[in-house]
């Protein structure tokens, strides 16, 4: 139904485009046109499609909730909680669709009939309203075409609005992220104290699983302490940076200061391949090759090593991050003005002394920025940890044991079927919002540092 309506609107818009253009040619025989003929077409088409589609979209968004309030009106005198009402509404919908399998009470049956009726009314009302709007807006537009009003300006203003709305898309995504995370996280913090979440040292959400009714609040207190996850996240990120910073920075320096054009041209893109490999592939590599390898070496040295160690995950993550640091630091060091180098050489400094004492300090803000970006990458990395570093949240500083991270726990909690309204599911959103805040902070700091640095040399 909806599809037919939208297709109809779009087809009508196309026809009105051709119609408008033709009309313009007719007008041309008697008066001077105010714009190219195709603008007459665009004008009609825009007036045809835009109002109808906007109303259609609004209708589709609001219709379900309005129907829901109508249905649930019958239940207001029964003192039901929000969740129970939701359940009833789901049942009514299922019954109306003919997929309900529970026992059917009279009341439910009545509601289902009412639902079907309301849906029918809503559908025909929608078609009627949209047709009315189409007729109204098209006749309005046609009148101004007939009057030979200015055509190009309105069309361009309309296009500009379309562009503007598109640019709001990115903002909308951010708002969507913040709200979807906040909404669930707030409900989580109603069940679990925010203090217990941030400072608790015991993460074991599976404990709160109860088949019916509410989990024991005492258990909840001890099950959602996120400190092991925060610690694990930064610990693995730290291991990754221990691998990535020396290798990345030294390759960046070599590429920008020493390498000839030929080497630079080939080595840089090849190193960047490392960043293009999907993380799930790294995860597989870490779990299958690096993990056992680390374990073997550890055992040979007489150490107790878990097959899923933080070290394996961190090291592989470090390899993945090398190009972020090497490419960015290469860029910032290449951007250091040549006269600084020349000055240093003129004083008799060798190349490495110039790099260490002049170029590196000058490029430091940019390099710090790139490292911060890399850290934010490492903190948000999911698949490597899920696959290579175990899923038990141990609070440990031993790189040879397995630990878990925020991202890995989100995956563990949400894999498979989720039940909304369960504190376990909501805890994933609470973790998500803390992850979002951490990466956002890192990113804002990194970008402002880089920006300041750029201003210095431009």
Partner 1 sequence: MNSFKKNLLKKRYNAERRFQWYGKIAIGLALSFLAVFMFQIFSKGYSAFQKTWIVTEVHYDKELLLIDAESPSKDDLENADYYDVAYKAMTSLDPGLPEEEDRQLIQMVSYKYEAEVKDLLLKNPDYLGKIVPIKLTASDDVDQVHKGNYPRDIPEEDRRVNDYQLQIYDMLNERGDILSEFNISFFTSPDSREAELAGIASSFMGTVFSILVCLAFSFPVAVLAAIYLEEFAPKNKFTDFIEVNINNLAAVPSIVFGLLGLGVLLAVFNLPRSTPLVGGITLSLMTLPTIIIAARASLKAVPPSIREAALAMGASNMQTTMHHTVPLSMPGTLSGTIIGLAQALGETAPLILIGMVAFVNTIPGTPVDPAASLPVQIYIWSESAERGFVEKVSACIMVLLAFLILMNLAAQIVRHKFEKKWS
CB of 5 to partner 1, least distance (A): 18
| Binding of partner 1 by 3 (CB under 8 A) | no
Cα dihedral across residues 172, 173, 174, 177: positive or negative? positive
Closer residue to partner 1 (CB): 311 or 435: 435
Scanning 16-24, 142-150, 166-174, 216-224 for contacts with partner 1 by CB under 8 A, the matching segment is 166-174
Candidate ranges 24-32, 216-224, 242-250, 331-339; the one touching partner 1 (CB under 8 A): 242-250
Closer residue to partner 1 (CB): 194 or 447: 447
Site for partner 1 in 365-424 (CB under 8 A): 373, 376, 379-383, 386-387, 407, 410-411, 414-418, 420
Query: How far apart are the C-alpha atoms of 402 and 394, rounded to whole Å?
Result: 7
Which two three-digit tokens encode residue 410? 């989100």
Q: What letters, b where the CB count within 10 A reaches 16 and e where it falls short, cover 42-72?
A: bbbbbbbbbbbbebbeebeeebeeebbebbb
Stretch in the footprint of partner 1 (CB under 8 A) among 141-149, 297-305, 357-365, 425-433:
425-433
In the complex, what is the shortest distance from the CB of residue 128 to partner 1, in angstroms, rounded to a whole number? 25
Q: Quick one: 64 or 120, whose CB is closer to partner 1? A: 64
**Considering beta carbons, is residue 219 or 414 the nearer one to partner 1?**
414
Residue 164 within binding range of partner 1, rule CB under 8 A: yes
Task: Out of 22, 143, 150, 160, point to the residue binding partner 1 (CB under 8 A).
Answer: 160
Span 16-55, contacts to partner 1 by CB under 8 A = none
The vertex-317 CA angle with 311 and 321, nearest 5°, equals 140
**Which residue's CB is nearer to partner 1, number 305 or number 316?**
316
57 binds partner 1 (CB under 8 A): no
Contact 385, 404 (CB under 8 A): yes
| Distance from C-alpha of 46 to C-alpha of 30, rounded to nearest angstrom | 25
Binding to partner 1 in span 170-209, by CB under 8 A: 170-171, 173-174, 176-177, 180-181, 183-184
Residue ranges in 74-93 that form contacts with partner 1 under rule CB under 8 A: none
Q: Which one of residues 169, 213, 260, 302 is an interface residue with partner 1 (CB under 8 A)?
A: 169
Calculate the alpha carbon distances from 373 to 237, 249, 274, 323 in Å: 12, 14, 16, 12
Looking at the Cβ atoms of 258 and 457, the one nearer to partner 1 is: 258
The β-bridge partners of 362 are none
Contact between 430 and partner 1 by CB under 8 A: the answer reads no
Residue 171: C-alpha distances to residues 62, 162, 428 (Å):
22, 15, 23
Q: How far is the CB of 121 from partner 1 (least distance, A)?
A: 21
Binder among 251, 306, 309, 370 for partner 1 (CB under 8 A): 251
Binding segment for partner 1 (CB under 8 A), chosen from 22-30, 120-128, 159-167, 395-403, is 159-167
Site for partner 1 in 290-349 (CB under 8 A): 319, 322-323, 326
For residues 75 and 69, give the distance between their C-alpha atoms in angstroms, rounded to a whole number.
10
Contact 323, 272 (CB under 8 A): yes
CB closer to partner 1, 208 vs 407: 407
DSSP letters, 181-216, are HHHHHHHHHHHS-HHHHHH---B-GGGG--SSSPPP
Residue 288 structure tokens: 């299958």
For residue 430, the Cα-to-chain-centroid distance in whole angstroms is 15
Nearer to partner 1, 94 or 219 (CB): 94
For the CB of residue 188, give the shortest distance to partner 1 in the complex, in Å: 12
58 binds partner 1 (CB under 8 A): no
In the complex with partner 1, the residue whose CB is nearer, 281 or 303, is: 281
At closest approach, how far in Å is the CB of 251 from partner 1?
A: 4
C-alpha angle with apex 356: 353 to 359, nearest 5 degrees? Answer: 105
- Cα separations (Å) of 93 from 86, 106, 352? 11, 15, 73
Q: How many positions of this chain bind partner 1 (CB under 8 A)?
A: 86
Long-range Cβ contacts of 192-198 (<8 Å, 24+ apart)? 192/220, 192/221, 192/224, 192/423, 192/427, 193/221, 196/220, 196/221, 196/222, 196/224, 196/225, 197/224, 197/225, 197/226, 197/427, 197/430, 198/226, 198/227
Binding residues for partner 1 restricted to 138-157, rule: CB under 8 A: 152, 156
Minimum separation from the CB atom of position 377 to partner 1 (A) = 8
| Residue 390 token pair | 């175990």
Interface region with partner 1, contact rule CB under 8 A, candidates 191-199, 202-210, 221-229, 431-439: 431-439
């Amino acid at each position: 139904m909806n599809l037919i309506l939208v297709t109809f609107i779009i087809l009508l818009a196309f026809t009105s485009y051709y119609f408008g253009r033709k009309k313009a040619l007719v007008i041309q025989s008697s008066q001077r046109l105010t714009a190219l003929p195709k603008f007459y077409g665009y004008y009609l088409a825009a007036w045809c499609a835009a109002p109808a589609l906007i109303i259609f979209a609004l209708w589709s968004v609001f219709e379900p909730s309005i129907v829901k309030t109508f249905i649930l009106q019958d239940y207001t005198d029964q003192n039901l909680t929000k969740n129970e009402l939701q359940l009833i509404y789901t049942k009514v919908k299922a019954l109306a669709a003919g997929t309900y399998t529970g026992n059917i009470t009279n009341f439910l049956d009545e509601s289902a009939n009412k639902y079907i009726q309301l849906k029918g009314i809503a559908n025909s009302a929608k078609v009627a309203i949209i047709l009315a709007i189409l007729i109204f807006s098209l006749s309005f537009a046609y009148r101004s075409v007939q009057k030979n009003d200015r055509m190009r300006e309105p069309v361009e203003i309309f296009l500009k609005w379309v562009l503007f709305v598109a640019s709001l898309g990115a903002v909308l995504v951010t708002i969507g992220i913040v709200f979807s995370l906040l909404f669930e996280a707030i409900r989580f913090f109603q069940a679990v104290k925010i203090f217990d979440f941030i400072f608790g040292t015991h993460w074991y959400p599976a404990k709160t699983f109860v088949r019916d009714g509410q989990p024991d609040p005492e258990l909840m207190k001890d099950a959602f302490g996120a400190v092991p996850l925060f610690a694990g996240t930064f610990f693995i990120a730290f291991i990754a940076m221990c691998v990535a910073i020396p290798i990345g920075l030294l390759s960046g320096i070599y590429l920008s200061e020493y390498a000839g054009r030929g080497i630079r041209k080939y080595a840089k893109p090849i190193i960047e391949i490392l960043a293009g490999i999907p993380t799930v592939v790294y995860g597989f590599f870490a779990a299958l090759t690096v993990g056992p390898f680390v374990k073997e070496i550890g055992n040979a040295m007489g150490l107790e090593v878990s097959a899923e160690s933080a070290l394996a995950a961190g090291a592989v993550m470090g390899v993945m991050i090398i190009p972020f640091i090497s490419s960015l630091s290469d860029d910032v060091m290449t951007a250091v003005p040549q006269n600084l180098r020349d000055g240093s050489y003129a004083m008799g400094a060798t190349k490495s002394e110039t790099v260490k004492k002049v170029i590196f300090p000058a490029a430091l803000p940019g390099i710090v920025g790139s490292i911060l970006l890399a850290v934010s990458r490492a903190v948000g990395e999911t698949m490597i940890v899920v696959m290579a570093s175990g899923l038990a949240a141990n609070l440990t500083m031993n790189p040879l044991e397995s630990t878990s991270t925020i991202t890995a726990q989100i995956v563990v909690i949400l894999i498979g079927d989720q039940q909304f309204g369960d504190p376990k599911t909501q805890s994933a959103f609470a973790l998500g919002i803390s992850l979002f805040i951490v990466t956002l902070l890192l990113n804002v700091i990194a970008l402002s540092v880089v920006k300041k640095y750029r201003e210095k040399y431009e």
